Chain A
Amino acid sequence: MKESYSLTLDVKRYDPDTRISWMQTYRIEAGRILRFTDVLRKINKELDPTLAWNSSCEHAQCGSCSVVINGRPMLACELLVENAVTHFGTTTFTIEPITVAPVLRDLMVDLEKAYDRVHRIRPFIIRPAQNPNQGQEYRISPRVMEGYLEATRCINCFCCATACISSHKGFLGPNAVMASLVRIMDPREDATADRLKQLYSEEGVYRCHSSMACSHVCPKEIDVAHFVALVKEGDFR
């Protein structure tokens, strides 16, 4: 374990003005416990203020900073320098944007377009079920909630969708399928049949090839593939 590391970052750049992409190499010193978002910031400060990269919370809650590092989609804010060196066994890292949406500049992609698939599954209660306790909260047993609570932790970082081996155009995607399943299992949602129709349609779960890459890369450690499998099995209440 060292106090700091000399890193080599090969970053995929893109200029929307010239429409040219290229790989640019940055060499920088980084303390062991810095996050990769800290490292990118350090590059802006010391080497290149034009390098564009997205982030917001920088502690794995918002899902803004997803990138592909040495081939693996992840949150840049979650990767500590010393963990990166240990895990990848190198101090050289290739950093590229995620593939789920068009690149705007460098590592920034048009996440709004990626969210289209999530919006299509309607991430809200489409038709509220009858509430026997009008004016109060629905009563929901914690046992029932346990069936889907993990899936509610999804932050739509699109790491799973990036890792997914199915096409982004033809498939709703693992995170969108999971979001719809949450509402299917939620007793407050009445439009279960509508949702299932969508999930069993051309863009639904038949596109999933069970690679389970989604579960493998999820930064929140949600077993996304499990929820997709539940839809395939038709087993959710």
Chain B
Amino acid sequence: MKKVLNLLRDKKVHYVVIVWVLLIKVVEIIAELLANIELLHFFELLGFGYLSTTSRIVWDALVAITIIWLVYRLAKDTFQISLGIRQLSKRALLTTILLLVWTASSVTAVLQFAQALSLPPASPQLEISRYYAPCNTANGGLATYFTINDAEQGANVTLDLSKSVFSNAFSSYEIGEISMFGVKDGGLSYFSLKDSQMGQKMIEMKFFGNGTDGLDGWFANKIQLEEPLKVNENTTLILLLKLEPSSDNTAWTYIKLDFLSADNEKYSLVWKFHDKPINSMLYSTDKKMKMYLLGSSVEWTFFQFNLQNVFYTSFSIHPKILTCIEYGVGAEADNIVTVHFLLAKISDCPLKVNGELVESVKPTLKLDDSGILFEGANVSRLYATSTLKPCKKEKHFQLFLTKISRFEKYEWSLPEHHQEVEKQIRFNSINNSTRIFLNGREVTSKTRVFELSAYESLALQDEATLTVVNEVDTYLMPIISILLIPPLALCLWKTFKSKKKMESAYAAFYF
């Protein structure tokens, strides 16, 4: 124990710990700076962007203490300045306190400057969204080709499947065998095919509970396929759905597929989507049904599953045919839950865009030319958003007595047909004090803290100008300046006094 204590008092140990902490801080600053460069975003992995506010405060305080500790150690080891209070005269004590306050203020100010310098840029992007009609279709309607006019070559284009219109989006949607439990009478729970406001066909399914708390209710529609579907290595279940959340996180919807294996044994796969976060799987007791529980499907969510792979992974045998599809929705019976399916299709090939497997509701792709090839589903109207980078960027700082301001100005030239399209500007909003000016007019938003904010640009015409102003307060700057005045004045007064003394001495000597 004594050895450990001696070790902790050793000044070399102090220096090692100081170097270690400062090295981590340097890594953090460098990582943050590099992460702002477009091709080096991955450096953010080395930083601490994930820290909560409390951890961030603790970490910054630790760094500040380490810097003060370093100053103290250097003062002690290099200039033999000791801070033993008993040895200090009143004047020395006052000077030391002034020095400490000045050091703390300077360190804080330096950190504030560093913060202003290292604030991530707004990096705004102008998004132009519009509907596209297919140029041609092939492969029995399963391959569709679109041309995107607005996007530059090599630019990113984001598709929104939830706003696109599909033909033949459902493998089966007629009313079959209905079962229900815990529902209110009067046909309030139903399964039907509807049109959305955007002209999309969608399955709407509603569970209207009878109001009993703690009772699990459901509404289901089971459709026996008149002609069973053969399952091959490419057969894919494609789903695009949205579940309304319940008040008590008990809502769910499912799609259940019944198969026959080569020896005519019945097996079932169930995908059950909840409104709460969940990621799990269950087997039935006879191991002939496997249920995948997936969560947080309260926004439009896209899934596709290779049926043969999932089946083999679940039961270690191959499926032969698909015989039955069942849709279900439910929750605790004191809820009313609605689910919409925009896609519920068993396709002979997975949904691909330009040869890439689609993995989300808003897939992003880089355009090599202006064409987009859709495979796996027939799209009759495609909603796509292309991104325009600013054609002009400017950045400058302004220093004031108690604040530093950073101005970023971005300009775009808008493409033709801009009257027909929806336009938005997305950018990194820095903090609450960030001010944003669009074409000279200040705009406000509720969701600007550490989130991407979007502003509909009503005023945008041939060109758009965005100015982002970030301000960092430096209240301690005056304190630093004021604290410097007494020692300076003292020094000047002493010099003046000694000069006067010298002059009097010379005068006495000569006269």
A and B: bona fide binding partners: no
Interface residues of B (CB under 8 A from A): none
